[in-house]
Amino acid sequence: MSATAAAPERGLSLLVIIPCLNESATATRVVQGGRQIPGVTDIRVLVMDDGSSDSTTEDARSAGAAVSSNATTQGLGLTFREAVGVAVAREVYLVVHIDGDGQFDPSDIPTLVAPLVNGTAHMVTASRFLEERLMPKMPMVKRLGNRGVSRIVQILTGHRFRDVSCGFRVFSREALLRISLFGTVTYTQECFLHLIFKNLAIVEIPVKVRGTREFGSSRVAPSLFRYGTRSLQIMLRAFISYSPFALLFALTCVFLLLGLGFLSSLAVHYVRTSAFSPHIWAGFVGGSFVFLAMSTFVSGLLGDILVRILLNQRHILYRMERSPGD
């Protein structure tokens, strides 16, 4: 990915965002970590409490963090979108997003921040699978699920990343202004698609993490199958939002080949017997597939036009949200 970020010469401001749901056992430890970061002069911590029923809010405030609380649980995707809005409104240059469950070590924050301070990335993500020696112990089905999701992202974008589901990331202000997210369950894979399609630079950095939670259970994936299907749905929607013609053209080719196959078989039968009967049905089926192919192709063209209009509107909004000093 060719695009790079340019860091301002002034001191950098950083907002550490910690999403939590009943993380009283680990919230304080996460809040108190990563307070000294080279190249950053202003560090603030915000805990996004997504409807906790324990003492997460009180513990986070006692540890020195500001807290934004939801009355009910909204989901990690919605919580992240709210966090993006807060970061953009505060005009911070860097945003760290680290889960509050204690699986990630806050002392790794400076390592992830470094490429953004140097202006060589727009987003840096921690990677659990980039180096074999750092791979955490986790259930095999979960490891295979992560590998499968990474493979899907590679197929959709042409870019290979080893870990697209990690909840420990750093974003530049430029990246946050460019992101347009719609998923409610998760945001992790969708971020990759949006930033890749906008040619922003993404860097993976290997870190050592816990493979399983120390306390409690996952709020994102109580069922791996359910998480996988929802993630796939989110990724396909994001892909269609940028490349509807590519998908619909592929379907056009499939429908056209099926239609021509049925029509060809009917033509061969007619040459041999000088009659369409008893396979005239192949003509109707083949004609239907050809018509479906033409309709799908036209839909792809219209979708491509709508995407261009949408991207132009997003670019206008991006220009409006940028402060004069960006």
Distance CA 40, CA 33 (A): 15
Q: Are 206 and 134 in contact (CB under 8 A)?
A: yes
Q: What is the pLDDT of residue 73?
A: 82
Q: What is the pLDDT of residue 31?
A: 86
Strand duo 66-69 + 123-127: pairing: unpaired
Question: Residue 278, preceding bond cis, omega within 30 degrees?
Answer: yes
Q: What is the pLDDT of residue 95?
A: 92
Q: What is the pLDDT of residue 41?
A: 81
Residue 223's contacts (CB-CB under 8 Å, 6 or more residues apart) are none
Q: Per this entry, what is the length of the chain?
A: 326
Q: Are 174 and 5 in contact (CB under 8 A)?
A: yes
Is the Cα dihedral 51, 53, 54, 57 positive or negative?
A: positive
Q: Are 187 and 181 in contact (CB under 8 A)?
A: yes
Residue 258's contacts (CB-CB under 8 Å, 6 or more residues apart) are 286, 289
> Helix or strand or coil: residue 136?
coil
Residue 271's contacts (CB-CB under 8 Å, 6 or more residues apart) are none
- Tell me the whole-structure pTM to 2 decimals: 0.74
Amino acid making up residue 40? V
Q: What is the pLDDT of residue 294?
A: 96
The pair of structure tokens assigned to 212 is 């399983």
Q: Are 280 and 262 in contact (CB under 8 A)?
A: no
Distance CA 220, CA 189 (A): 13
Q: What is the pLDDT of residue 4?
A: 58
pLDDT tens sequence for the chain (326 residues): 555 555 555 568 899 998 888 888 888 888 887 667 777 888 888 998 888 888 888 988 888 888 888 888 887 878 888 888 888 888 888 999 998 888 888 889 999 999 998 889 999 999 988 888 888 787 777 788 888 888 888 888 888 999 888 889 999 988 988 887 766 667 788 888 888 888 899 999 999 887 565 555 555 555 566 666 767 777 777 777 778 888 899 999 999 999 999 999 999 999 999 888 888 999 999 999 999 999 999 998 998 888 788 777 777 766 676 654 55
Question: What separation in angstroms does the CA of 39 have from each of 10, 14, 74, 119, 196?
Answer: 10, 10, 34, 12, 26
Q: What is the pLDDT of residue 169?
A: 92
Q: What is the pLDDT of residue 321?
A: 66
- 169 phi and psi, to 5 degrees? -145, 160
